[in-house]
Structure 1
Protein backbone atom coordinates (compact mmCIF):
# COMPACT_ATOMS: atom_id res chain seq x y z
CA UNK A 1 0.00 0.00 0.00
CA UNK A 2 1.25 3.49 -0.86
CA UNK A 3 -0.50 6.56 0.55
CA UNK A 4 -0.09 10.19 -0.51
CA UNK A 5 -1.89 12.86 1.49
CA UNK A 6 -3.06 15.78 -0.64
CA UNK A 7 -1.15 18.36 1.40
CA UNK A 8 2.03 16.30 0.91
CA UNK A 9 1.61 15.57 -2.81
CA UNK A 10 4.62 16.66 -4.87
CA UNK A 11 4.07 19.69 -7.09
CA UNK A 12 5.05 19.61 -10.75
CA UNK A 13 5.15 22.01 -13.69
CA UNK A 14 4.11 21.37 -17.27
CA UNK A 15 4.67 23.50 -20.38
CA UNK A 16 1.68 25.40 -21.72
CA UNK A 17 -0.07 25.64 -18.33
CA UNK A 18 -0.90 29.09 -16.89
CA UNK A 19 -2.36 30.11 -13.51
CA UNK A 20 -2.44 26.46 -12.46
CA UNK A 21 -1.10 24.56 -9.46
CA UNK A 22 -0.48 20.89 -10.16
CA UNK A 23 0.32 18.00 -7.83
CA UNK A 24 0.76 14.28 -8.36
CA UNK A 25 -1.28 11.99 -6.14
CA UNK A 26 0.13 8.67 -7.36
CA UNK A 27 2.82 7.65 -9.82
CA UNK A 28 6.03 9.25 -11.01
CA UNK A 29 7.60 11.24 -8.14
CA UNK A 30 4.53 10.58 -5.94
CA UNK A 31 5.32 6.88 -5.72
CA UNK A 32 5.18 3.56 -7.50
CA UNK A 33 2.45 2.69 -10.00
CA UNK A 34 2.43 0.16 -12.82
CA UNK A 35 0.12 1.62 -15.46
CA UNK A 36 -1.14 5.16 -14.73
CA UNK A 37 -0.38 8.30 -12.75
CA UNK A 38 -2.90 10.63 -11.09
CA UNK A 39 -2.67 14.36 -10.66
CA UNK A 40 -4.86 17.22 -9.49
CA UNK A 41 -4.74 20.64 -11.10
CA UNK A 42 -6.18 23.72 -9.45
CA UNK A 43 -7.03 26.29 -12.11
CA UNK A 44 -7.35 29.94 -11.11
CA UNK A 45 -9.89 32.18 -12.87
CA UNK A 46 -8.54 32.93 -16.34
CA UNK A 47 -6.08 30.03 -16.15
CA UNK A 48 -5.75 26.96 -18.31
CA UNK A 49 -3.66 25.21 -20.93
CA UNK A 50 -2.73 25.80 -24.53
CA UNK A 51 -4.35 23.65 -27.22
CA UNK A 52 -2.02 20.69 -27.56
CA UNK A 53 -2.11 17.00 -28.34
CA UNK A 54 -0.09 14.12 -26.93
CA UNK A 55 0.38 10.54 -27.95
CA UNK A 56 -1.42 9.15 -24.89
CA UNK A 57 -4.98 9.01 -23.64
CA UNK A 58 -5.99 11.50 -20.92
CA UNK A 59 -9.00 11.30 -18.64
CA UNK A 60 -10.22 14.36 -16.75
CA UNK A 61 -12.74 14.50 -13.88
CA UNK A 62 -13.85 17.90 -12.59
CA UNK A 63 -13.67 17.86 -8.79
CA UNK A 64 -14.94 21.39 -8.17
CA UNK A 65 -15.96 24.44 -10.17
CA UNK A 66 -16.40 24.59 -13.94
CA UNK A 67 -13.83 23.88 -16.65
CA UNK A 68 -14.17 24.51 -20.39
CA UNK A 69 -12.52 21.70 -22.34
CA UNK A 70 -11.89 21.90 -26.09
CA UNK A 71 -10.32 19.55 -28.60
CA UNK A 72 -9.95 22.35 -31.14
CA UNK A 73 -13.27 21.53 -32.84
CA UNK A 74 -15.77 20.95 -30.04
CA UNK A 75 -16.00 22.54 -26.61
CA UNK A 76 -17.84 21.42 -23.49
CA UNK A 77 -18.25 22.98 -20.08
CA UNK A 78 -17.80 20.42 -17.34
CA UNK A 79 -18.90 20.81 -13.75
CA UNK A 80 -18.36 18.75 -10.61
CA UNK A 81 -18.09 14.99 -11.21
CA UNK A 82 -18.33 15.30 -15.02
CA UNK A 83 -15.56 13.56 -16.94
CA UNK A 84 -14.02 13.61 -20.39
CA UNK A 85 -11.66 11.30 -22.27
CA UNK A 86 -9.16 12.76 -24.72
CA UNK A 87 -7.89 10.16 -27.21
CA UNK A 88 -4.22 9.78 -28.14
CA UNK A 89 -3.36 12.44 -30.72
CA UNK A 90 -6.52 14.48 -30.00
CA UNK A 91 -6.03 18.12 -29.06
CA UNK A 92 -7.03 19.41 -25.65
CA UNK A 93 -7.31 22.81 -24.06
CA UNK A 94 -8.55 23.47 -20.52
CA UNK A 95 -9.82 26.90 -19.42
CA UNK A 96 -11.40 28.35 -16.32
CA UNK A 97 -13.67 31.12 -17.65
CA UNK A 98 -15.35 31.69 -14.28
CA UNK A 99 -14.45 33.90 -11.33
CA UNK A 100 -14.07 30.86 -9.01
CA UNK A 101 -11.17 28.42 -8.69
CA UNK A 102 -11.70 25.01 -10.32
CA UNK A 103 -9.99 21.67 -9.71
CA UNK A 104 -9.64 18.72 -12.01
CA UNK A 105 -8.31 15.17 -11.62
CA UNK A 106 -6.06 13.90 -14.43
CA UNK A 107 -5.44 10.22 -15.13
CA UNK A 108 -2.69 9.40 -17.66
CA UNK A 109 -0.89 6.20 -18.63
CA UNK A 110 2.75 5.71 -17.83
CA UNK A 111 5.13 4.91 -20.67
CA UNK A 112 5.49 1.15 -21.19
CA UNK A 113 8.24 -0.51 -19.19
CA UNK A 114 10.88 -1.99 -21.51
CA UNK A 115 11.21 -5.77 -21.21
CA UNK A 116 14.05 -6.96 -19.02
Structure 2
Protein backbone atom coordinates (compact mmCIF):
# COMPACT_ATOMS: atom_id res chain seq x y z
CA UNK A 1 0.00 0.00 0.00
CA UNK A 2 1.37 3.42 -0.95
CA UNK A 3 -0.31 5.37 1.85
CA UNK A 4 -1.20 5.15 5.55
CA UNK A 5 -4.01 6.84 7.47
CA UNK A 6 -4.16 7.76 11.15
CA UNK A 7 -6.32 9.73 13.55
CA UNK A 8 -5.88 11.21 17.00
CA UNK A 9 -8.38 8.52 18.02
CA UNK A 10 -5.68 5.93 17.18
CA UNK A 11 -3.16 7.15 19.79
CA UNK A 12 -3.16 8.36 23.38
CA UNK A 13 -2.47 11.98 24.23
CA UNK A 14 0.91 12.50 25.88
CA UNK A 15 -0.39 15.37 28.03
CA UNK A 16 -3.16 15.54 30.60
CA UNK A 17 -6.56 16.46 29.13
CA UNK A 18 -6.97 19.43 31.46
CA UNK A 19 -4.19 21.16 29.48
CA UNK A 20 -5.56 20.11 26.09
CA UNK A 21 -4.06 17.20 24.20
CA UNK A 22 -0.99 16.22 22.22
CA UNK A 23 -1.05 13.29 19.84
CA UNK A 24 2.12 12.00 18.15
CA UNK A 25 1.12 10.41 14.82
CA UNK A 26 4.58 9.43 13.51
CA UNK A 27 4.34 5.80 14.59
CA UNK A 28 0.67 5.46 13.61
CA UNK A 29 1.54 6.78 10.13
CA UNK A 30 4.65 4.56 9.97
CA UNK A 31 6.94 7.39 8.84
CA UNK A 32 10.69 6.97 8.78
CA UNK A 33 11.81 10.56 9.46
CA UNK A 34 8.88 12.96 9.37
CA UNK A 35 7.01 13.53 12.63
CA UNK A 36 3.44 14.84 12.77
CA UNK A 37 1.78 15.99 15.98
CA UNK A 38 -1.68 17.41 16.62
CA UNK A 39 -1.79 19.69 19.66
CA UNK A 40 -4.61 21.39 21.55
CA UNK A 41 -3.88 23.91 24.28
CA UNK A 42 -6.55 25.02 26.70
CA UNK A 43 -6.53 28.70 27.71
CA UNK A 44 -3.61 29.29 30.07
CA UNK A 45 -1.85 26.03 29.13
CA UNK A 46 1.75 25.86 27.97
CA UNK A 47 4.22 23.37 26.61
CA UNK A 48 7.57 22.60 28.18
CA UNK A 49 10.61 24.68 27.25
CA UNK A 50 12.82 22.59 24.96
CA UNK A 51 15.05 22.38 21.92
CA UNK A 52 16.07 19.58 19.57
CA UNK A 53 19.83 20.09 19.50
CA UNK A 54 20.43 16.44 20.44
CA UNK A 55 18.29 14.90 17.68
CA UNK A 56 18.75 17.67 15.07
CA UNK A 57 15.04 18.00 14.36
CA UNK A 58 13.72 21.25 12.87
CA UNK A 59 10.03 21.90 13.43
CA UNK A 60 7.14 23.85 11.97
CA UNK A 61 4.24 24.96 14.17
CA UNK A 62 1.05 25.81 12.26
CA UNK A 63 -1.94 27.26 14.12
CA UNK A 64 -5.22 25.82 12.84
CA UNK A 65 -7.55 27.48 15.38
CA UNK A 66 -6.95 30.18 17.96
CA UNK A 67 -3.75 31.97 18.86
CA UNK A 68 -0.51 31.00 20.62
CA UNK A 69 2.60 32.71 21.87
CA UNK A 70 5.98 31.11 21.11
CA UNK A 71 8.79 32.24 23.37
CA UNK A 72 12.39 31.97 22.20
CA UNK A 73 15.54 32.85 24.17
CA UNK A 74 15.42 36.54 23.32
CA UNK A 75 12.16 37.05 21.46
CA UNK A 76 8.46 36.23 21.69
CA UNK A 77 6.11 35.95 18.71
CA UNK A 78 2.34 35.53 18.46
CA UNK A 79 0.84 33.21 15.86
CA UNK A 80 -2.80 33.43 14.84
CA UNK A 81 -5.00 31.14 12.81
CA UNK A 82 -3.36 29.92 9.57
CA UNK A 83 0.06 31.26 10.57
CA UNK A 84 3.19 29.14 10.94
CA UNK A 85 6.78 29.33 12.16
CA UNK A 86 9.80 27.16 11.30
CA UNK A 87 12.19 26.60 14.20
CA UNK A 88 15.85 25.51 14.00
CA UNK A 89 16.78 22.38 15.95
CA UNK A 90 19.01 24.23 18.43
CA UNK A 91 16.56 27.06 19.14
CA UNK A 92 15.05 26.79 22.63
CA UNK A 93 11.29 27.39 22.56
CA UNK A 94 8.12 27.26 24.64
CA UNK A 95 4.55 27.52 23.36
CA UNK A 96 1.73 29.08 25.41
CA UNK A 97 -1.96 29.77 25.00
CA UNK A 98 -2.50 33.15 26.63
CA UNK A 99 -5.94 33.62 25.06
CA UNK A 100 -9.40 32.77 26.39
CA UNK A 101 -10.07 30.18 23.64
CA UNK A 102 -8.79 26.71 22.79
CA UNK A 103 -5.81 26.71 20.41
CA UNK A 104 -5.24 23.89 17.89
CA UNK A 105 -1.97 23.32 16.08
CA UNK A 106 -0.29 20.94 13.70
CA UNK A 107 3.41 20.39 14.44
CA UNK A 108 5.72 18.88 11.84
CA UNK A 109 9.32 17.89 12.45
CA UNK A 110 12.18 16.03 10.81
CA UNK A 111 15.93 15.76 11.31
CA UNK A 112 17.93 18.10 9.11
TM-score by length of 2: 0.83
For the residue of structure 2 that corresponds to 1:13, the secondary structure is coil
**C-alpha separation between the residues in 2 aligned to 1:91 and 1:20?**
22
Q: For the aligned residues, what is the CA RMSD?
A: 2.0
Gaps of 5+ in 2: none
For residues 95 and 106 of structure 2, the distance between their equivalents in structure 1, rounded to whole angstroms, comes to 12
The answer to which structure has the higher strand fraction is 1
TM-score (normalised: structure 1): 0.80
* 1:20 has 2:20 as partner: yes
Give runs of aligned pairs for residues 83-98 of structure 1, distance below 5 A.
83-98=84-99
What is the alpha-carbon distance in structure 1 between the residues aligned to residue 101 and residue 13 of structure 2? 22
1:4 is aligned to 6
Residues 51, 72 of structure 1: 8 Å contact kept: no
- Looking at structure 2, the residues matched to 36 and 11 of structure 1 have their Cα atoms a distance apart, in angstroms, of 19
Aligned residue pairs total: 105
Range 57-66 or range 47-56, more displaced: 47-56
The CA deviation at 1:5 is 3.1
Aligned-partner Cα distance in 2 for 1:5–1:22: 12
Please list every run of at least 4 consecutive aligned residues from structure 1 whose deviation after the TM superposition is greater than 3 angstroms.
none
How far 1:13 sits from its partner (Å)?
1.8
